Amino acid sequence: MKSKTTNLQALTRLALLVAIELVMKFIGLGSVPVGPLYMSFLTLPIAVGAITMGPLAGLILGAVFGAVSFYDAITGGSAMTSALFQVSPFNTFVLCVGMRLLMGLCVGLIYEGLRRLDKKGNWSCIASAMCAPLLNTVFFMGYIVLAFYNCDYVQGLVAKNGASNPLIFVVLLVGVQGVAEFLVSGLLGGLVSRAVQRYLTR
């Protein structure tokens, strides 16, 4: 009976995080337009789920993020992914969904690894949560460079930003937005995750 109750509580927490992620997205709290990119805070519930519930929860929440991102690509909600969708629907799907699945999974695995070093749980939550926006940016921009760098749309951004190579292109395009995501989502995600863990272990 206790096992069924525990499983129901875990599913309820996961459903709540999925709902939070969707609400953040559809009322505009999840992403802020910055040039061709969006400064996204949707990694916050993914980090909380991956840290407090494990890599599988991170994978599921990453899939939700990826699904709404791909929806934007299809409907024109995002200028960049919509342009990339015209180049290759398959690679855009991998970009939007696959990279977010990978990010959510990795955050959960990173936390499990760091938690072994952090016996008291003082810093592993914040360090792992900061990996969510960092990995989201690295995987997303890395796949753009890998799959789309030579297409006309990306080359137009390269020329506009005066980038001399793919690495400089990523740095110039992400800029302050990436730092803001890293700090805001990372710190908030870590603090919320730690608070949730303490509540669950009372």
Q: Does domain 2-200 have CATH number 3.20.20.20?
A: no
Rounded Cα–Cα distance for residues 98 and 67 (Å): 10
Cα separation, 202 vs 198, in Å, equals: 6
pLDDT per residue as tens digits for the range 167-182: 888 888 777 666 777 6
pLDDT mean over 104-130: 90
Mean pLDDT of the chain: 85
Torsion of CA 170, 174, 176, 179, to 10 degrees: -90
Which residues does 60 contact at the CB level (< 8 Å), separation at least 6?
14, 18, 49, 104
CA distance 165 to 145: 10
- The domain segmentation of the chain, as residue ranges, is 2-200
* Cβ contact 81:96 at 8 Å: yes
* Residue 3: predicted pLDDT: 60
Whole-prediction pTM: 0.85
